[in-house]
Amino acid sequence: MTTNPDAVIIGAGHNSLACACHLAARGWKVAVYEQNAAPGGAVKTGEYTLPGFRHDWAAMNLSLFAGSAFHTQHAAELAGHGLGFAPTANPFSSVFPDGRWLGISNDPALTTARVRGFSGADADAWTALTARFPAEAEAIFGVLGSPMNLRAFSSLGWKTWRKRGGGGTLDLARFLMMSPRAWLDQTFESDHVKATLAAWGMHLDFAPDVAGGAVFPYLEAMAGQAFGMVLGAGGADAMTRAMVKMIEARGGAVHCNSPVAGINHAAGRAFGVILKDGTLIDAEKAVIANVAPSALLKLTGGSGDSRHDTAMEKFQHAPGTMMIHLAMDALPDWPAPELKRFAYVHLAPSMDQMARTYTQAKAGLLPDEPVIVCGQPTVVDPSRAPAGKHVLWLQVRMAPGQIKGDAKGEITATSWAEAAEPFAGRALDILEGYAPGTRSKILAQHIVTPDMLEADNPNLIGGDQVCGSHHLHQHFMNRPARGYADGTTPIKNLYHTGAAVWPGGGTGAGPGTLLAKKLAGN
């Protein structure tokens, strides 16, 4: 009787783990091989500054995971393995140089009143968006959760057409192609309101003028108001640890410190993987690679399909991110004390500033005024720091993977080893400008540069936290390449998953879940 696993999975990111969990729940024997000492990929937590201060390495917001099809189906089992969430009714806010601020809370009346403080017309627009959200969400989430193959997409299109009519379906398609600025300019009049929502585009790679980006500010605003936000109890790694335990409880295994050097295939069929130490691991049914497209090409040595191989080689990545983890004696003193209640405080003053920042980073320049996402997880989950203390989770967006210069003309270094401190200083200067005295509250800090993110997780090329641009030419049926958005490859029994595959980045585990259901038949 064979002891080979049914599925061998390369990489232990959350899409791999979700795929393995679902397959294991369907009776498959699974084995996951991870190069790092710990599973999780970008979803992990550690004491990177001082003992007792727990920082999320990259991903912090687990709302997409909590609302995902995977979690909905396996929630009870994951909870039994220790998964817990820390919810907040105050998901995000923006503060502006003039001292004004706007926060989105899980209270439509309160949020609408805040919007009305900027514009009566915008409050009316917000009210209309709120009323339409349930119907719009059903259609949009239907698209984002659908397998991206011709049959499924045709079926979804027909159902949408029957429900919304021809005009409504075309309106939805138009919206999905709009840039954040186009939609925001058509919907609101206040620049403060527009900037508050546009900041969400910068969490991916949708600067204000990039087509296809409007849906993300819209969904984050409306979903944040409708559902709030959830973090992982004790850290984002709560979901990673629970999925590993679920895999092990069902007879599977997650092997860390086990880098994969190659995929064993011949005559157009994959048979297993070759570990870096030379060990051969055979797979009975499937080899699943949660890797960046360029890495898939290297692991196979070529699939024999020139179009697919070229797409893997030329796959485009988003600009990078710098992370700054801070152990704090106290929270920043924001212009309004209410801001200390929010999970996120965005420092992104205008759409023009965001567009400039994005263009500078794409050109290889250190932006003169990067967008700062200031996460305040201990507001939601005090267990992440000693009593009375806090952690701040700073994302500095955008940052070039390879530095060609400095847009501000101050930093001469072109290596991240030398540019890290001064660029982090620029980000902290921005934070200090909005909340004076913050620097004096810092107990310790840990800077994570784009090249450090990539060194830790090769999928994050150039510090790209979403493993590939989501621009329209590389999204929907084109993610990662036309004909392969369902996780298949030209090599039989070899499958591709992770953020590079439809539906892309985020903590929703969509790519892993869709692939597992495809392989298991449900």
Average pLDDT over residues 38-66: 97
The CATH number given to whatever domain includes residue 433 is 3.90.660
Residues 53, 69: one domain?
Answer: yes
Higher pLDDT, 161 or 364: 364
In a domain, 121, yes or no: yes
pLDDT in tens, 460-474: 999 999 999 999 999
Average of per-residue pLDDT across 66-95: 98
**449 & 328 share domain:** yes
Judge if 321 and 451 occupy the same domain: yes
**Could you give the CA distance from residue 288 to residue 9 in angstroms, rounded to a whole number?**
5
Domain boundary among 180, 199, 224: 224
- Residue 77 placed within a domain: yes
- Tokens 């058509």 -> residue: 186
pLDDT score, position 66: 97
DSSP 106: S
| Confidence class for position 153, pLDDT limits 50, 70, 90 | low
Domain end residue (candidates: 203, 224, 245): 224
Q: Same structural domain for residues 370 and 472?
A: no
Are 217 and 247 in the same domain? no
Is residue 184 located within the same domain as residue 114? Answer: yes
Cα–Cα distance, 224 to 344 (Å, whole number): 11
For the chain, give the percent of residues with pLDDT over 90: 92
Q: How many residues does the chain have?
A: 522
- If DSSP codes are grouped into helix, strand and coil, which group holds residue 518? helix
Closest alpha carbon to 454 in 274, 319, 308, 362? 319
> Is residue 95 included in any domain, yes or no?
no
Domain membership of residue 509 as a residue range: 7-86+235-315+467-520
Per-residue confidence (pLDDT) for residue 11, from 0 to 100: 98
- The upper half-sphere exposure of residue 136, i.e. CA atoms within 13 Å in the direction of its Cβ, equals 17
**Does residue 93 lie in a domain region?**
no
pLDDT at 129: 97
Looking at the structure, tell me whether residues 271 and 385 fall in a common domain. no
Query: What is the pLDDT, as a whole number, of residue 154?
Result: 73
Question: Across the chain, what does the average pLDDT equal?
Answer: 96
Q: Which of 171, 198, 224 is the last residue of a domain?
A: 224
For the domain that residue 474 is a member of, what is the CATH number? 3.50.50.60
Residue 322: pLDDT above 90?
Answer: yes
pLDDT at 1: 37
Question: Quick check: is 91 in a domain?
Answer: no
Both 209 and 332 in a single domain? no
| Residue (of 202, 184, 207, 206) closest to 119 by Cα position | 184
What is residue 73's predicted lDDT score, i.e. its pLDDT?
97
Q: Is residue 272 part of a domain?
A: yes
Instruction: Check the CA dihedral 518-13-505-226 and report its sign.
Output: positive
As a three-state string, the secondary structure of 470-503 is: CCHHHCHHHCCCCCCCCCECCCECEEEECCCCCC
- Judge if the upstream peptide bond of residue 351 is cis by omega within 30 degrees of 0: no
**Domains: count for the chain:** 3
Residue 100 within any structural domain of the chain? no
How does pLDDT run across 127-142, given as a tens digit for each residue? 999 999 999 988 888 8
**Residue 321 clears pLDDT 70, i.e. is over it:** yes
326 lies in the same domain as 202: no
Does residue 98 form part of some domain?
Answer: no
What pLDDT score does 438 carry?
98
Say whether both 253 and 331 belong to one domain: no
pLDDT at 47 over 80: yes
C-alpha–C-alpha distance, residues 133 and 135, integer Å:
6
Best CA proximity match to 197, nearest among 104, 118, 107: 104
DSSP string for residues in 127-157:
HHHHHHHHHHHHHHHHHHTS--SHHHHHHHH
Task: Specify whether 482 is located in the same domain as 501.
Answer: yes
User: pLDDT digits over 242-277, tens only?
Assistant: 999 999 999 999 999 999 999 999 999 999 999 999
Q: Are residues 298 and 376 in the same domain?
A: no
pLDDT digits (tens, 9 = 90+) for 348-394: 999 999 999 999 999 999 999 999 999 999 999 999 999 999 999 99
